[in-house]
Amino acid sequence: KAGVTQTPRYLIKTRGQQVTLSCSPISGHRSVSWYQQTPGQGLQFLFEYFSETQRNKGNFPGRFSGRQFSNSRSEMNVSTLELGDSALYLCASSLDPGIYEQYFGPGTRLTVT
């Protein structure tokens, strides 16, 4: 069974640009969650999608948005990039995160210059 895949793996962008990251969950998983990991703040929850609906959102500005498609693949978008957005962005998939494990992808390393 294929694991969670994320594309691209590495990305370099300039301040003010926007970026779209993609996540393909494990087959059959309907929940996808996104997290931001930085050395200072650690892992922080961005949002969770289940069957194309955003169920929960973390404490991030509106520049961070996401969506989920009917095949459960998810994308997150960051507009007007800031230097502080440089981080490892991780997505996780689960059958039902309240009951089952969450499985993480390898992450997308975003560097904003």
Partner 1 sequence: KQEVTQIPAALSVPEGENLVLNCSFTDSAIYNLQWFRQDPGKGLTSLLLIQSSQREQTSGRLNASLDKSSGRSTLYIAASQPGDSATYLCAVSSAIGGSQGNLIFGKGTKLSVKP
Q: Provide the binding-site residues for partner 1, judged by CB under 8 A.
A: 4, 31, 33, 35, 42-45, 48, 50, 55-56, 58, 88, 90, 92, 94, 96-107, 109
Residue 16: CB minimum distance to partner 1, A = 27
Task: Report the alpha-carbon distance of residue 49 to residue 34 in Å, rounded.
Answer: 9
Decide: 3 and 25 in contact? Cβ < 8 Å. no
SS3 assignment, position 10: strand
Count other C-beta atoms under 10 Å from residue 81's C-beta: 19
Closest CB to partner 1 among 76 and 97? 97
Please give the DSSP secondary-structure letter assigned to residue 71: T
Residue 19: CB minimum distance to partner 1, A = 19
Closest CB to partner 1 among 17 and 76? 76
Residue 58: CB minimum distance to partner 1, A = 7
